[in-house]
Structure 1
Amino acid sequence: MNDIDRKIISSLQEDNRISMSLLAEKTGLSISAVNERVRKLQSNGTIQRNQAIITPGSVGLDLLAFLFVDLHPDCDEDAFVQEARSFPELQELHHITGPHSYLAKVRVVDTNGLQQFLKQRLKRLPAVAKTETIVVLQSEKETSILPV
C-alpha cells in the first residue's frame, strides 16, 4: 500500500459516496486509475464493505453497554462465538486478555432490553459462566475511521 492508496482509503472513510472524479482530483490520478485502485482495495480485503452509519438513537437504540463475558473452562468456545455472532444486538465481540474471556459491545432500546438480551440470549448459551455489564452514560467519541 502506498501514499495514494492511503489517500483513497482516507477519503472513502470520510465519505464512501465520494465521486470517482473527485477522488481522482484529490489523488492526482485519472478516474479509471482510481476506479482500478478502489477495485483492488476491495478485492484484497482492505475495503471490507460499504455501509451507512446510522445514529443509534434515531432508530430507538438508546442504550449502549459493554459486557465482560466469562466462559466455562471446558466449554466449546467456537460454538459460543458462532452463536453470539448471530445476535443483532451484539455489535462487537473481542477475545481479550486478562481475567475475562470476551468483551462485547451491545446496543438495545433500554435497560429492559438489556435485561432481556442478557437473560434470554447471552446467558442461555452453555459456554457462558458469568457476565459483567458496564452501561454507557454518554459517548464522547465513537468512530470507525482508522488513522491511515
Structure 2
Amino acid sequence: MSEAFENKGALARKARMVFGATTAEAAQMVHVAKRTWEVWESGQREMPDAELELFIHKITNGVTPSEDRELVVVVADGQMPHDVISSDTFLNLTLNVDGTAEISSMAVSRATGRQYIHRTTFTIEPHNTHVVAFANRHRKWG
C-alpha cells in the first residue's frame, strides 16, 4: 500500500532530507528565499510544479553528499515525482504480476521520531524502469 504525501512540500522535505541538504541549500537550488522553501515544506503554500521538478532533477543528476549514496525518484502518473529513496535506506522491491511494484525503505516518523518501513506502490512502465534497475544495484541479499 502506498503512503501518499499530503502535499508537494512534504515530498520536497523528504527529498531534501534524503539528499542531506539544509532548507537554505534547497532554496538556493531552485532560486527562492529560504523562507519560501520553508513555507512550501510546511504546507502553508503549495509548492509550484516547476520548482519541485527542478529540485528533483538537480538532486538526482547532481553530486550526492556521499559518493556511496544514490537517490532514486519514483514517478507517479503524469511524470510528477511521487517518492524519493536513497540507497542507504532502501530495503526491498517487490514486482507484481499486474505491472506494478512496491518499494520499501526505512523512514523516521516526524510525529514520534520512531523508525518505520515506508512503502510506495507504483506502475513500472513507462516511467519507473530506473527504479527496478536501482533496486537491482542495491539489493542487500539474494
- The normalised TM-score by structure 2 is 0.27
Identify, as 1 or 2, the structure richer in helix: 1
> Which structure would you say has the larger RCO, counting Cα contacts within 8 Å and 6 or more residues apart?
1
Query: Could you state the TM-score of these two structures normalised by the residue count of structure 1?
Result: 0.26
Q: Which has the higher strand share?
A: 2
Larger radius of gyration: 1
